[in-house]
Amino acid sequence: MLVASDARQSGAVSRREGWLSAAAVFAVALVVRIVAAAAVTFPIPEDTAYYAGVARNIVEGRGLISDALWSYGTPPLVVPRAAFEVWMPLPSLLEAIPMVLAGAANWFRAAQLVSVIAASVVAVLAWRLGADLAAEMELPAGRARTMGIGSGLVAAALGPLVLYGALPDSTALFAALSLAACLLMARIAAAEMARDAARGEAPDAAPGEDRGTPPSDPAPSDRQRPEGRLIALGLVLGFAALTRSEAIWLALAWAVAAWFWTPGSRRHRAGLIAGPAVVAVLVVAPWVVRDWLAFGTPLPGQTIANVLFVHDYDVSAYQNQPSLSLYVAQGPAAVAGAHVAGIAHNLFSVLLIPSFPVGLLGLLVLPWVGGRRALRPLALSAAFIFLVTSLAFPVATLSGTYLHAAGPAFVLLTVCCVAALDRFIVLVGRLRHWTRPVAWLGPAFAIAAIAPLCFVTVNAFASQANDARRRYELLPAAMARAGLPLDGTSPVITDNPIWLAEAARIPALALPEESPDSVLDLARHFGAKVLIVGSDPAREWPAILDRGGTAARCFQTVTLTDNSGAAPPKGSDLATFHVFLIVCP
């Protein structure tokens, strides 16, 4: 055991200081995320409304049900329908807990509580990763303390990680569970190395080499602790899998780490992999059975179809479902271009621009810092997630596939950035002959650089949320004045089915980016009589009706009016909606 003076020299901190540091980072992150969440008054993007809406349905006694049919790739095609044919249920299940206490009327604010807490925990886990990295680098106590707390505080102020707290979807929860899994992986691997060394075996010997029977059995506590960590890892991986399907890449990262980076026989390393896998499968198994009963498949729906997307609107395709023939018909140049666009989108639009300059500096030093044992599982899992979402789902990722799984990468880049700034401050100090410790300058510079962008990002999201809230608050009354009340007697076709379903509490169908004939067939199949389209210049609807045709004549324009009975002025909230009555039987 280290005495106090030894601890100060080696960089080790007491358990009490560790808990106080974690609490301080959590408190700062919590305050920042509460402020951000308070500014966002409506669930954007749409998937956020989906998770919170399903949680509200649970609280109201309807069960795991959604009133929005946003994709036609997974039967049965009914509405309302069983929820989570593609996404995973854990965020909604957790959001239902505070919603029970706050009431379904406060559904969105109650759901935000889960994301606020989860996103705050992310900052604490960033602190732990930074502290582990500092311990591995054997930094002096002051620098080690600064690297740990600095990593946590920079994560607490990083714009994308702050936004996670305002948006009650899978993003913050998956980030927290992923980071917890990676921390457990690093600790299990380190414990295996330590146990191997304690048996008198060389730590740098080749993995998998049988080196005889250990000289003595480990103590009972040593035998139990690795097993406990393996069970904990399995539980975390299972819960991560119930949050996002990308958890499979976390499991693959552990398989690689256990097989190549831990000592022992092949049988022993296989046990390190199999133990958490069994636990994770047991956690996920009930949901797999439920999916099988509800949708006829134990796997998340339309996964293969997402690989074959030609356009991001293919997610709502009705008659023209994604297929291998359509995918190949693009030609090699278009396929290659889609992959380049997917990589560029994920790298720049998702990672580097929102986290600038922290993300950029972290990426530049990643080859030198990310290989450390403390960060190895995190770097590996982040790489797997980035590559698979970019290369296997290059079009689907433009709609957020990678965005919602990027939390581990943001934290990895944050810790690497803080480590690089620590080294930079040391070099500057030597050149300028500084005598006082100034390691805190690195995290301070980082926070000063990212705080303005964080403020702008949160305000931009808050403005978008307020705009969407106003539009969907005005729409029901305007529809009633037009003689088409949103009473739920028949589903409504719209380009934002989740928002309409949750704001108006009616069944809604996704508008496919297809011909009027296809949309008319959709309306006949579901008995829909109304089409509501927003003003999205990237979509063909409603301008596609101007091309004429027999089916186009079945969509009669309905004029909305404001409270005064006049047509809403151009650019107003109501003017963004185009409403059509479907008159053909």
pLDDT at position 585, please?
78
Same domain for 163 and 114: yes
pLDDT at position 12, please?
60
CA atoms within 13 A on the CB side of 130: 36
What is the rounded CA–CA span in Å between residue 308 and residue 297?
Answer: 19
In the chain, the number of structural domains is 2
Nearest to 232 by CA among 174, 176, 279: 279
Same domain for 303 and 156: yes
Query: 559: alpha, beta or left, given left = phi > 0 and alpha = psi -120 to 50?
Result: beta
Same domain for 499 and 387: no
Q: Does 2 reside within a domain? A: no
DSSP 449-513: HHHHHHHHHHHHHHHHHHHHHHHHHHHHHHHHHTT----SSS-EEES-HHHHHHHHTS-EEE--S
Q: Does 356 reside within a domain? A: yes
Same domain for 494 and 443: no
Q: Specify which residues 85 forms β-bridges with.
A: none
Same domain for 163 and 291: yes
Same domain for 253 and 298: yes
Same domain for 509 and 442: no
Amino acid identity, position 358? V
Q: Does 472 reside within a domain? A: no
Same domain for 496 and 367: no
Determine the structural domain holding residue 328 and report its residue range: 15-197+223-453
Nearest to 584 by CA among 559, 558, 555: 555
Residue 53, Cα to own-chain centre: how many angstroms?
18
pLDDT tens digits, the chain, 585 residues: what are they? Answer: 333 334 444 456 678 999 999 999 999 999 999 999 999 999 999 999 999 999 999 999 999 999 999 999 999 999 999 999 999 999 999 999 999 999 999 999 999 999 999 999 999 999 999 999 999 999 999 999 999 999 999 999 999 999 999 999 999 999 999 999 999 999 999 999 988 888 765 444 444 444 444 433 444 444 446 789 999 999 999 999 999 999 999 999 999 999 999 998 999 999 999 999 999 999 999 999 999 999 988 877 688 889 999 998 999 999 999 999 999 999 999 999 999 999 999 999 999 999 999 999 999 999 999 999 999 999 999 999 999 999 999 999 999 999 999 999 999 999 999 999 999 999 999 898 887 878 999 999 999 999 999 999 999 999 999 999 999 999 999 999 999 999 999 999 999 999 999 999 999 999 999 999 999 999 999 999 999 999 888 899 999 999 988 999 999 999 999 998 898 998 899 999 999 999 997
pLDDT at position 211, please?
43
Q: Does 206 reside within a domain? A: no
Q: How many CB atoms lie within 10 A of CB 193?
A: 18
pLDDT at position 209, please?
46
Same domain for 418 and 543: no
Q: Does 473 reside within a domain? A: no
Q: Does 365 reside within a domain? A: yes
pLDDT at position 176, please?
98
Q: Does 63 reside within a domain? A: yes
Q: Does 135 reside within a domain? A: yes
Same domain for 486 and 441: no
